[in-house]
Amino acid sequence: MEQTNFQLKKQKSQSNDWSARLHHATRATREDWMGKGISYLCIGVIILVVASMLWFITSKGVATFTQNHVSLTKFLFGTNWAPDQGHIGALPMIVGSFAVTFAAAIVATPFAVGTAIFMTEISPNKGRKLLQPVIELLVGIPSVVYGFIGLAVVVPFMRHVVGGSGFGIISATFVLFVMVLPTITSMTVDSLRAVPRHFKEASLALGATRWQTVSRVILRSATPGILTAVIFGMARAFGEALAVQMVIGNAAIMPKNLISPASTLTSQLTTGIGDTIDGTLPNNALWSLALILLLMSLFFNALVRVIAKRGQLKHER
Amino acid sequence: MLKQYSFEETAVQTFDEKTSLAMKTENLQVFYGANHAMHDADLAFPKNQITALIGASGSGKSTYLRSLNRMNDGIATVTGKIWYHNVDINEPTVNIYEIRRHIGMVFQRPNPFAKSIRENIVYALRANGLKNKAELEERVEKSLRGAALWDEVKDSLDKSALSLSGGQQQRLCIARSIAMEPDVLLLDEPCSALDPISTVKVEETLLELQKKYSIIIVTHNMQQAARVSSQCAFFHLGHVMEYTPTGTMFSNPQIPVTQDYIAGSFG
Amino acid sequence: MLKQYSFEETAVQTFDEKTSLAMKTENLQVFYGANHAMHDADLAFPKNQITALIGASGSGKSTYLRSLNRMNDGIATVTGKIWYHNVDINEPTVNIYEIRRHIGMVFQRPNPFAKSIRENIVYALRANGLKNKAELEERVEKSLRGAALWDEVKDSLDKSALSLSGGQQQRLCIARSIAMEPDVLLLDEPCSALDPISTVKVEETLLELQKKYSIIIVTHNMQQAARVSSQCAFFHLGHVMEYTPTGTMFSNPQIPVTQDYIAGSFG
Amino acid sequence: GKATSSTSSKSSSSSEALSGKVTAVGSTALQPLAAKAGANFQAKNSKVNLTVQGGGSGTGLSQVQAGAVSIGNSDIFAEEKEGIKADKLTDHKVAVVGMAPVVNKDAGIKNLKMAQVKQIFTGKITNWKEVGGKDQKIVIINRAQGSGTRATFENAVLKGATAVKSQEQDSNGAVQKIVATTPGAISYLAFSYFTNKLQAVSIDNVTPTDNNVESNKWKIWSYEHMYTKGTPDKAVAAFLKYMDSKTVQDSLVKDMGYISIHDMKVTKDAKGTVTQN
Amino acid sequence: MNAKRTDFLATVVINLIVATVVGILVFLLAYILISGLPHVSWSFLTGTTDAFSGAGGIGVQLFNSFYLLVLTMLISVPISLGAGIYLAEYAKDNWRTSLIRSAIEVLSSLPSVVVGLFGFLLFVVKFKIGFSVISGAIALTFFNLPLLTRNIEESLSAVSRSQREAGLSLGLSKWKTEIGIILPVALPGIVTGIVLSAGRVFGEAAALIYTAGQSAPVTNFGDWNPMDPASPLNPFRPAETLAVHIWKVNTEGLANNAAQLSAAASAVLIIAVLLFNLGARLLGNFLYRRVTASK
Ligand SMILES: Nc1ncnc2c1ncn2[C@@H]1O[C@H](COP(=O)(O)OP(=O)(O)OP(=O)(O)O)[C@@H](O)[C@H]1O
Ligand SMILES: Nc1ncnc2c1ncn2[C@@H]1O[C@H](COP(=O)(O)OP(=O)(O)OP(=O)(O)O)[C@@H](O)[C@H]1O
Ligand SMILES: [Mg+2]
Ligand SMILES: [Mg+2]
């Protein structure tokens, strides 16, 4: 061809053979192989990490049942947690974890949704300039600091108001509420923002008020997103360790009411793991608690997926 | 190469006392912040007719149209007067929700709610206090018939509106608007996202609807304007340049800029 | 109301042996999953001429164009043959990067890189192994001149390309393409996002460029097709209905569907 | 385990050439003492790389058993820990810790009978007025199961009975804070954690003091152990020797609230049997 | 009108909610800063902790926190970059990709204690690395990876398709397009994500207690050879971070001013996180302007 090409020397010699020229591997082809290699490797590392984590925790967690022959029902429904004496009923911790998680989610959701509505519908300007940073800051506060404040403020406050030691489910709920609030809020904001603008316009054009538009159109079509947000918040609450451990009282007994001390899977885990011997029942029992945590996070994940699917279907059908 | 047209040379018709008008704007100006998007629009819209707004992209058609039912509130600054039943509805004291009930709007992209077909229509009615079941059902049928959609959907009113085709969705949006029994219907390029078959159906619907409503339609498609409208306003860079009966506009445009635009040799 | 046109009745010209062709497709079909978006396209493109592809929205113009330089890889399934220099470049063994270097493409929305004007042009050259500074500078000037942009930007080559106007950005994209010294230039509605002045400039550029390149351009604007192209292909619902010299297409369309489309009474 | 009682108390002067790696892991109660002594030791033997880490007695014992570390710090005898083969380890007792019940000051309690303490922790007595205090509910704060402090306390007080289920804290600091602020609270702490914000309780009119521990009049005490496996290498041996030296035992140990192993007039074995020296 | 009244009422309620949320944050910040800042001094920031009581300065912990952060980022950023590019560019929309995505999600929703204990089991115990900076960094990497990967993927995918097509249509390889064209545009978002995750890593304690350890041996700040045992850069030494220190002082502290100590340390931690937040915004904006506007 008449045009002067600037390709690699190798190809220059065959520049009249178009077939060869167009079939030959070039620098770009090689770059692509390399790029593929690098990125596949990286994703491979992540998969390896996840797989080995699942494997380790599962194999340690089931040892309680396979090696120590504790029955699964006893573990899940027993209420006596004294691994040193061979009693490992995990129900108090399971109940404790669920109690604080649900309580925190129930308290936090209205606050989160309200704030999100404010940020997207009522005052988007203030939302972006003032609340966005506020929310991001709340996310950024480390959980030890939440624990520290819980210990210094919430626990004495609860002791004062409701009596008892102040340690307990209600204090943990309060601390967790503040901790999951930003998570739920920022995800709710995302899902509200994702509602197509024309939904809103359609409703407004029909003469609906702002609140009618928000409650019947926007919230409705953002429901899957909000549910996802709440579940993420619950997942965070379920897995939170230090802040809860510092305020819940760590009593491995079935919680009788909201002010009685209780313990969660995570708090029992952090409290006990250092004092047990690898391979013994008390140690294995703790890993079984970790296994429950793992399974729960898998469960939360699956739930999010189901909701996302449902939401999609609703939009497609 | 590109001709500069003078904004002074315009040809905007007015109507005599006898013509009964649906709406009228005086001196309407719209600003997006510092961007002066609409200059001094003085247009009057006769009752029970279709008026088309045409012009190049960005010429301000949507901007103008959205001002008519205050959809620009909070987005743009709108000055001037918008007369509707002898009330200047551009005043802040006016109840915008009432205005929008009387002046309905249909958008460029069909935007049904992610609800059933029935719910799409019933939603706003219920929000406005209509609770009677029988009456609601009646309205659903009437408006769907009005939008020429009834026959196609009467057996599937509980299906999601999102399962309809684009053209059906757009007619549903029209049905949703007319269910509110408005006076005026504003349509912003209602066919631009539709295939030719659906376009024809919507156009037929509009021609039918003008018997009951006054319609103002923005369109990019001059053929469409020619087919449906009685008069036609040509927008250019935020100015209304010509407003004449559609026949006149297409066969005998009054000023150079319109002539060039109609001839397609614009620019 | 809407006419049904037969897909059997087509008028597609072929070229004799003597015409030297830039590219040719045989039996080209494109599927987006189950959606058969392009049926059996057999088109040949003469060298150093501008060919226009016209048709309604969704008729498959972009789909066809993007297949020509394998931009549909991984998006759609393309079957049939695409001849370029007697090589069927639709074969999987072909090095797509080489193809794209020889068959450049400019898109509907200007998409300059978020880099300086100079870098926009130099980047791909450098990635292809051209390191010599002087030569790079030379290419920058040559391609910007070719795209009729040089005079406007020569003093600000280090400014961000994003600070240019839409029309300038589009010409920069053209410059970026021709800097690679391709054989064929594919343009997908290059002016649809541009104002009239910029449109004229781009059209002038194209008329100039056809001396060196073979150009295939998709356009919505029939006036534009009339102004710039030598021959014109009309697409309808995924079929090529008519392919004739532009003069013929606009003054004397061969088949009903084209006649109606050209007359604007389509649908 | 064999209790080796070191005899030489002079730190060897041939330590110039001493080098190697010493890692002591385990008991959080012993960690501060070990860390401080370690720092002093390293100042003299700059070639030795000595690190002291926490993790808990269980971690210390299992790590030293696995050979992962050179010294396993523990609050309890290896024999007491399930899963530890004590005969494979060598015990080096480096200090003694005395513990006592502590109560919130408001309870109005200064002295209890041993039996009363037992009844409180087993849940038989639930109000302070039953033992001569205020009419106030007793709030029990226990240590985490498996903790050395709890093991010592239960060995000495409960003698096999099971403690009632209650709040558990995994650290002295937390216990200290909670007992000081919660009305009616009772727990137990090492002497060094006593503050004037809480009330240490005498048992059977014996006050919790170092002297009473040394003579075993005060029954609740335990050793701090450093366990090694096999023959310790030179650096480890030197460090263990240093821990037993007068420099450490007579000043550091006492300064930090522990009781010197040299001052003990009795010996306790893993089963709790006490013999006079 | 009824609808109008409801509208008004709803607005009032929402405003109250927002006021509460803002109030909570203001209280939190004010509480931490007011109770902590008075005890923060230069000697506190640079001093060493008394191993026995926990009293004294937090110099070593502060250094450890930063060192751990840098190390974590050095490991996790390249991996997540590769993984993010994989997801944004190479992953097809099939079951395998959705499995990979689930795996990443699972990793991100794992409680950090579990991640920490896994690190403890694997690195500290199985690989016999012991409580060390490197064990901590790897554990933090585990819980940082999914967040960063997702952030990078989102930032990359947010770049308009047309930019990719521009690159591809010039004959550039996918990799070159991604690295040379898409990445620079996505950089502001990515950097913001990295800095925000840095804030999280900085404040993480649960995953570190059993990996990086709870002791901060005094190191020799004159020795910067990472191989030397006493060097602060030695990745195999145990390293208590600021967040762990707060946790420990709170639960174990013997110093009679433990409350002040943890308040002061918390204040420092919060300020660091605040700075990260602020830094993220400024840096993100700066890069955004730099990429889009002049030059
Ligand atoms: N929300 C907005 N904020 C700022 N400027 C706007 C906004 N909407 C429109 N504009 C500007 O106002 C001018 C007129 O826009 P408008 O949408 O009214 O044009 P149009 O005639 O409807 O064009 P099209 O045919 O493309 O819909 C344009 O310059 C546009 O950029
Ligand atoms: N990425 C895609 N995935 C699935 N279907 C597609 C995709 N792109 C285009 N299509 C479908 O292929 C058909 C032809 O579309 P194409 O974009 O080629 O039309 P066009 O003639 O370029 O229209 P326009 O003038 O609007 O650009 C349409 O039905 C469209 O919905
Ligand atoms: Mg518009
Ligand atoms: Mg197209």
pLDDT of residue D8: 40
Is residue C239 included in any domain, yes or no? yes
Q: Which ipTM did the prediction report?
A: 0.75
Name the pLDDT band for E255 (thresholds 50, 70, 90): low
- What domain range includes position E16? 1-39
Answer yes or no: do E85 and E191 share one domain.
yes
Q: Lowest-pLDDT range, A102-106, A303-307, B3-7, B262-266?
A: B262-266
Name which of B93, B96, B97 to mutate to probe chain E: the one with the most chain E Cβ atoms within 10 A of its Cβ. Answer: B97
Is residue A5 included in any domain, yes or no? no
Mutate which of B35, B63, B72 to test ligand 1's pocket (most atoms within 8 Å of Cβ)?
Answer: B63
Please name the chains neighbouring A, where neighbouring means 3+ C-beta pairs under 8 angstroms: B, C, D, E
Answer yes or no: do A35 and A117 share one domain.
no
Q: Please give the Cα distance from D57 to D107 (Å, whole number).
A: 33
Cα D269 to Cα D151, D259, E159, distances in angstroms:
14, 17, 71
CA angle in degrees (0–180, nearest 5) for B201-B203-B204:
65
Q: Please give the Cα distance from C236 to C55 (Å, whole number).
A: 6
How far is the first Cα of chain B from the last one, in angstroms, to the nearest whole number?
7
Q: Mapping DSSP to helix (H, G, I), strand (E, B) and coil, where does residue E252 land?
A: helix
Give the number of the atom of ligand 1 that is nearest the alpha carbon of residue B64: 18
Residue with tokens 């609140």: A211
D97 touches chain E (CB under 8 A): no
Shortest distance, CA C111 to any CA of chain E (angstroms): 6
Task: List, in order, residues 6 or more apart from D237 with CB less than 8 Å away.
Answer: none
Chain E residues touching chain B at CB-CB below 8 Å = 1-4
Chains D and A touch (3+ CB pairs under 8 A): yes
Answer yes or no: do E30 and E84 share one domain.
no
Answer yes or no: do E282 and E165 share one domain.
yes
Is residue C136 included in any domain, yes or no? no
Element (DSSP H or E) covering residue C82: strand C77-84
Task: List, in order, residues 6 or more apart from D124 with CB less than 8 Å away.
Answer: none
Q: Mapping DSSP to helix (H, G, I), strand (E, B) and coil, where does residue C253 land?
A: coil
Residue ending a domain, among A10, A40, A61, is: A61
Q: Please give the Cα distance from E295 to E293 (Å, whole number).
A: 6
Residues A274, D147: contact at Cβ < 8 Å?
no
Name the pLDDT band for A4 (thresholds 50, 70, 90): very low
Answer yes or no: do E30 and E63 share one domain.
no
Q: Which amino acid is at C163?
A: S
The total domain count for chain B is 1
Name the pLDDT band for B68 (thresholds 50, 70, 90): very high
Answer yes or no: do E149 and E32 share one domain.
no
Is residue C234 included in any domain, yes or no? yes
Chains E and C touch (3+ CB pairs under 8 A): yes
Shortest distance, CA B170 to any CA of chain A (angstroms): 12
- pLDDT tens for C132-163 read 999 999 999 999 988 888 988 999 898 888 88
Is residue A2 included in any domain, yes or no? no
Is residue B193 included in any domain, yes or no? yes
Q: Mapping DSSP to helix (H, G, I), strand (E, B) and coil, where does residue A315 land?
A: helix
DSSP string computed for chain B: -PPPPPSS--EE----TTSPEEEEEEEEEEEETTEEEEEEE--EEETTSEEEEEESTTSSHHHHHHHHTTTTTTTSEEEEEEEETTEETTSTTS-HHHHHHHEEEE-SS----SSBHHHHHHHHHHHTT---HHHHHHHHHHHHHHTT-HHHHTT-TTSBGGGS-HHHHHHHHHHHHHHT--SEEEEESTTTTS-HHHHHHHHHHHHHHTTTSEEEEE-S-HHHHHHH-SEEEEEETTEEEEEEEHHHHHHS-SSHHHHHHHHT---
* D145 vs C68, more confident: C68
Answer yes or no: do E29 and E100 share one domain.
no
Element (DSSP H or E) covering residue D54: strand D48-55
Q: Which protein residue has the closest C-alpha to ligand 2 atom 9?
A: C63
How far is the first Cα of chain A from the last one, in angstroms, to the nearest whole number?
55
Chains C and D touch (3+ CB pairs under 8 A): no
Q: Please give the Cα distance from A104 to A102 (Å, whole number).
A: 5
* Contact state of C129 with A22 under an 8 Å Cβ cutoff: no
Other CB atoms within 10 Å distance of the CB of residue E168: 23
Q: Please give the Cα distance from A127 to A189 (Å, whole number).
A: 10
Among residues A277, D150, D54, A297, which one has the least CA distance to residue E113? A297
Q: Please give the Cα distance from A162 to D236 (Å, whole number).
A: 54
Closest CA in chain E for residue C187: E169
pLDDT of residue A107: 94
Is residue A1 included in any domain, yes or no? no
- Compute the distance from residue D203 Cα to the ligand 4 centre, in Å: 91
Q: Lowest-pLDDT range, B192-201, C206-215, E78-87?
A: B192-201
Q: Please give the Cα distance from A136 to A246 (Å, whole number).
A: 24
- Kindly tell me if the per-residue pLDDT of A283 is higher than 80: yes
Answer yes or no: do E86 and E144 share one domain.
yes
Cβ-nearest to B196 among C56, C197, C222? C56
- What domain range includes position B34? 19-112+183-263
Name the pLDDT band for C189 (thresholds 50, 70, 90): confident
- pLDDT tens for A62-87 read 998 998 888 888 888 988 888 877 88
Cβ-nearest to A212 among B104, B111, B127? B127
CATH number for the domain spanning B54: value is 3.40.50.300
Cβ-nearest to C129 among A6, A19, A24? A6
**Between residues 199 and 238 of chain A, which touch chain B (CB distance below 8 Å)?**
199, 201-209, 212, 216-217, 220-221
Is residue B6 included in any domain, yes or no? no
Token duo for residue A241: 């360790």
A158 touches chain D (CB under 8 A): no
Name the pLDDT band for B1 (thresholds 50, 70, 90): very low
Q: Please give the Cα distance from B82 to B77 (Å, whole number).
A: 14
A26 touches chain C (CB under 8 A): yes
- What domain range includes position A36? 19-61
Helix axes E59-85, E133-158, angle to 10 degrees: 40
Q: Please give the Cα distance from C197 to B266 (Å, whole number).
A: 10
Answer yes or no: do E145 and E281 share one domain.
yes
Strand order in the sheet with B184-188: B11-12, B239-245, B231-236, B50-55, B214-218, B184-188, B103-106
Is the overall model pTM greater than 0.80, yes or no? no
* Contact state of C89 with A22 under an 8 Å Cβ cutoff: yes
Element (DSSP H or E) covering residue D200: strand D198-200
Indicate if ligand 2 lies below 6 Å from the C-beta of C24: no
Answer yes or no: do A50 and A184 share one domain.
no
Q: Which protein residue has the closest C-alpha to ligand 1 atom 17?
A: B62
Residues B191, B221: contact at Cβ < 8 Å?
yes
Indicate if ligand 1 lies below 6 Å from the C-beta of B63: yes
pLDDT of residue D1: 36
The total domain count for chain A is 2
Indicate if ligand 2 lies below 6 Å from the C-beta of C36: no
Among residues D4, D2, D1, which one has the least CA distance to residue D243? D4
Answer yes or no: do E183 and E265 share one domain.
yes
CATH number for the domain spanning A309: value is 1.10.3720.10
Residues of E in contact with B128 (CB under 8 A): 3
User: Residue E27 gets which letter from DSSP?
Assistant: H
Which percentage of chain E shows pLDDT scores above 70?
Answer: 90
Cβ-nearest to C58 among B56, B195, B264? B195
Is residue A29 included in any domain, yes or no? yes
Q: Please give the Cα distance from B148 to B152 (Å, whole number).
A: 8
Is residue C230 included in any domain, yes or no? yes
Closest CA in chain C for residue E173: C97
* Contact state of B264 with C197 under an 8 Å Cβ cutoff: no
Q: Please give the Cα distance from A105 to A100 (Å, whole number).
A: 8
Among residues E145, E141, E137, which one has the least CA distance to residue E65? E137
Name which of B95, B97, B117, B180 to mutate to probe chain A: the one with the most chain A Cβ atoms within 10 A of its Cβ. Answer: B97
Q: Lowest-pLDDT range, A88-102, A266-280, B145-159, D258-272?
A: A266-280
Is residue B174 included in any domain, yes or no? no
Instruction: For chain D, 277 residues long, give each residue's pLDDT as a single digit of tens.
Output: 334 444 444 444 444 567 778 888 888 778 888 888 888 888 888 778 788 877 778 888 888 888 878 899 998 898 888 788 888 899 999 999 999 999 998 888 889 999 999 999 999 999 999 998 888 889 898 888 777 888 888 888 988 888 888 888 877 777 888 888 888 899 999 888 888 888 999 999 999 999 999 999 998 999 999 999 988 888 899 999 999 998 888 888 888 888 999 989 999 888 878 888 7
How far is the first Cα of chain E from the last one, in angstroms, to the nearest whole number?
56
Answer yes or no: do A210 and A93 share one domain.
yes
**Four-point Cα dihedral A200, A203, A206, A208, nearest 10:** -110
Answer yes or no: do A34 and A107 share one domain.
no
The total domain count for chain E is 2
* A15-24, A107-116, D20-29, range with greatest mean pLDDT: A107-116
Cβ-nearest to D168 among A165, A252, A276? A252
User: Residue D203 gets which letter from DSSP?
Assistant: E
* Contact state of D167 with A167 under an 8 Å Cβ cutoff: yes
Residues of E in contact with A274 (CB under 8 A): 210
* A34-48, B216-230, C10-24, E34-48, range with greatest mean pLDDT: A34-48
Q: At B180, phi and psi to the nearest 5?
A: -80, 0
Element (DSSP H or E) covering residue C186: strand C184-188
Is residue C192 included in any domain, yes or no? yes
Token duo for residue B222: 């001059």
Answer yes or no: do E183 and E234 share one domain.
yes
- Kindly tell me if the per-residue pLDDT of E2 is higher than 80: no
Q: Which amino acid is at A28?
A: A
* Average pLDDT value over all residues in chain C: 87
Q: Which is it for strands D89-104 and D221-229: parallel, antiparallel or unpaired?
A: antiparallel
Q: List the helix and strand counts (H, then E) for chain C.
A: 10, 12
Q: Please give the Cα distance from B242 to B255 (Å, whole number).
A: 8
